[in-house]
A and B are shown apart, each in its own frame.
Chain A
Amino acid sequence: MVSIQGIGVKQRIYARWKASLRHRIRRISPGRVVTHIFMILLILFTSLPLVYLASTAFKPLDELYIFPPKFLAMRPTFENFSSLFTALSSTEVPFTRYLYNSLLVSVLTVLGTVMVSSMGAFGLVKYKPPCADFIFNLVVAALMFPTAVTQIPSYLVVNNLHLINTYASLIIPKLAVAYNLFLMKQFIEQTPNELIESAKIDGAKPFTIYWKIILPLLKPAVFTLIVFAFQSSWNDYFSPLIYTTSEAMKTVTLAIQTISGGTTDLARAGAVAAASLVTIIPTIIVFLIMQSGVIETMAYSGIKS
């Protein structure tokens, strides 16, 4: 560093500027460059197929089969979407019905599971009943259950409860998920006890404590849970497959299989792409909304006692 004594203002400034430049260049280390390159490649890999899906959805019929295939639609049109929403000759059920089903089921599932999981984790962590350890180990073990293990008997249970082909069959089994409780538990453990104690001293009832103190503290976890639960419910096509028997109760994801009509059949690629896009959008929207919530709350959260 240049000695400051006896040097003019201009030279001092120049020295500092050169140092800052050195600092900036040092920040562009090879490690960083490589990181950036990898990131860009990864991002391309992950987003290109989706961009292509979006562009296919907007292509008019004649552009779907041109050879060599083009990436972006030359004359974008809403044809595919309109045909999707107004006329689906192969089924008697309008497409909007599927959307409604999916939406209803997913929203109710999300609300339900957030309540059930956070209440359960609250009871487990803050009240520590004697069986807490056993329950927690059970839940952790259940994390590793493959879905197949519980699916078949679940069907038998739902059948015996006479819930086949109702919305309840799509919602209720999804409410108590080990993963969700686990997530909530991790977060709740980080909340400070002092808040709860001071609330108790102030005479708050347990449910008020839960509602007004714990839930706000859990915001990042709740938002993450909302994203996960919504997505898992929306994208699940196996549950509707085994639990719904009538066309009118199907969800969007299941319905797409009917529409797509075969794996290598490109004949209705436009309609399928449009349907797929419509299917993907709600999950993305939920993610975007929750994400800003997640990031914000994480920025402001200082879990300081």
Chain B
Amino acid sequence: MKIAFLQGESGGKAAGFEEWYQGRGWKELSIYMTDRNEATEFQPKLHPGKKGRFAAHWAKYGTGYLFLAPFIILFTIFVIVPFFVSLGLSFTYYNMLEPPEWIGLNNYKLLFLEDDVFLIGVKNTLIFAFITGPIGYFASFFAAWAINELKTRKFLSLAFYAPSITSSVAVSVIWLYIFSPDRYGLINNLLIKLGFLTATEPILWTSNPKTIMPVIMVVSIWMSMGTGFLVFLAGLQNMPGELYDAANMDGVKNVFQKLWYITLPMMKPQLLFGAVNSIVNSFNVFAVATTIAGFPSPNYAGHTIVAHLYDYAFIRFEMGYASTIAVFLFVLTFLLGRICMKVFSSKDTY
């Protein structure tokens, strides 16, 4: 607490200070108590009086709250509240016509112990997520890095990002044509021409349970390559050039070394972001699977967790059970996301 000395005084308490001090209220004295190195603006110091403290608090943070308000209000209504409602509904039986009826952990028991289709869905989703997630992730990073090194940036960026801009519904036309299960489909046609298949035995891409999964994976990889691509590109372009110059002087030989020792560590936040994104997206797959394989898919081969949820929520109207599935999905995604955060922890950035 610095107390400004009265004008003309030097060292120690000046004469007349006590009278001056006693005659002043806290408000005037507080002006002399701010530490000017801290504040970017003149702020009244917090005084141990309730109303004063609130006013001071508001003066300091008030505009902050105002700016934050629209987001927080909307976020609470449409994200936080629904999340807790989902959580609550998962313990009930709710069919939209009658009010929800509490049944405790029954839904969870049913889900994990008796629902075989759900287990198939989990298996599918996991296989799916662990294959398409990393591949799409690495591909988009690789593309961002390569595009950064080349000069024809704009066109290549578009060509690479275009798939993920399109919706699966719109593009399914093409993919269904390519994988069409009769001999008119592009791939079947090619294979027949090359002699791998006879004309009477086209591969039933979208009906054969064994091939449905790979088909959906290919389409999904195609669509997911752009996820995070922009973020990676932005991150790469914002890298300080001095690091590379320093590296060149220290004898870094080729491009790959540059990549491993410099680029990647500097990009940890973006890498983390892309990873979390890619995981969330791969667990969320539903539209792609149903557009290609149908709903339900033969032998549930294309059934994902979200498809299962949709089935129970909007076809059978069992909201309670559907909420249980949603909670499970959330826990799964959250755990994996947490693991990613540990791996990509950016606490050690410079």
Contacts and interface: CB of A to CB of B under 8 A. Distances in A.
A32 B145 CA distance: 12
Interface stretch (A6-14, A86-94, A261-269): A261-269
B169 interface: yes
Interface stretch (B5-13, B101-109, B155-163, B208-216): B155-163
Contacts of A127: 61, 63-65, 67-68
Given A149-B327, A175-B74, A39 B82 contact: no
Given A176-B71, A206-B63, A220 B234 contact: yes
Contacts of A287: 158, 161-162, 165
A68 B68 contact: no
A154 B280 CA distance: 19
Interface string B250-268: 0000111000000000000
Given A146-B280, A295-B154, A153 B81 contact: yes
Contacts of B225: 42, 46
A283 B166 contact: yes
Interface in A257-305: 257, 260, 263-264, 266, 269, 272-273, 275-276, 279-280, 283-284, 287-288, 291-292, 294-295, 298-299, 301, 303
Interface in A194-225: 196-197, 200, 206, 210, 220, 224
A130 B176 CA distance: 53
A2 interface: no
Interface in A75-111: none
A122 B234 contact: no
Given A46-B222, A120-B72, A280-B170, A148 B181 contact: no
A97 B221 CA distance: 33
Contact of B68 (A129, A152, A172, A303): A129
A263 B68 contact: no
Contact of B65 (A129, A149, A284): A129
A234 B164 CA distance: 12
B143 A42 contact: yes
B306 interface: yes
Given A146-B326, A146-B329, A149-B326, A284 B170 contact: no
Contacts of B82: 149-154, 156-157
B334 to A, nearest CB: 5
Contact of B163 (A46, A56, A260): A46
Interface residues of A, number: 105
The residue in B161, B169, B175 that gathers the most chain A C-beta atoms within 10 A of its C-beta is B169
The residue in B41, B163, B173, B238 that gathers the most chain A C-beta atoms within 10 A of its C-beta is B173
Contacts of B29: none
Interface string A157-189: 100000000000000110110110110001000
B67 A49 contact: no
Contacts of A65: 184
Contacts of A196: 40
Contacts of B306: 146, 148
B72 A280 contact: no
A298 B166 contact: no
Contacts of B176: 263-264
A17 interface: no
Contacts of B255: 29, 31-32, 35
A50 B68 CA distance: 41
Nearest to B325: A148
Contact of B71 (A120, A146, A288): A120
A172 B294 CA distance: 31
Contact of A256 (B71, B85, B169, B330): B169
A200 B40 contact: yes
Interface in A24-76: 29, 31-32, 35-36, 38-39, 42-43, 45-47, 49-50, 52-53, 56, 65, 67-69
Interface string B182-219: 01101001000100000000000010000000000000
B174 interface: yes
A280 B143 contact: no
A152 B40 contact: no
30 contacts: A35-B146, A42-B160, A46-B162, A46-B163, A49-B175, A49-B178, A53-B171, A124-B64, A144-B276, A144-B333, A148-B310, A149-B330, A152-B86, A154-B78, A154-B82, A157-B81, A175-B74, A176-B75, A182-B273, A200-B40, A206-B67, A220-B234, A264-B206, A266-B177, A269-B173, A273-B173, A276-B173, A279-B170, A291-B154, A291-B158
Interface of A: 29, 31-32, 35-36, 38-39, 42-43, 45-47, 49-50, 52-53, 56, 65, 67-69, 115-117, 119-120, 122-124, 126-130, 135, 138-139, 141-154, 156-157, 172-173, 175-176, 178-179, 181-182, 186, 193, 196-197, 200, 206, 210, 220, 224, 227-228, 231, 234-238, 242, 253, 256-257, 260, 263-264, 266, 269, 272-273, 275-276, 279-280, 283-284, 287-288, 291-292, 294-295, 298-299, 301, 303
Interface of B: 40-41, 61, 63-75, 77-83, 85-86, 89, 139, 142-143, 146-147, 149-150, 153-154, 156-167, 169-178, 180-181, 183-184, 186, 189, 193, 206, 222, 225, 230-231, 234, 237-238, 254-256, 269, 273, 276-277, 279-280, 283-284, 287, 291-292, 294, 306, 309-310, 313-314, 319, 322-323, 325-327, 329-330, 333-334, 337
- Give 9 closest A-B pairs by Cβ, nearest first: A127-B64, A123-B67, A120-B71, A176-B74, A153-B82, A235-B167, A123-B68, A153-B85, A276-B170
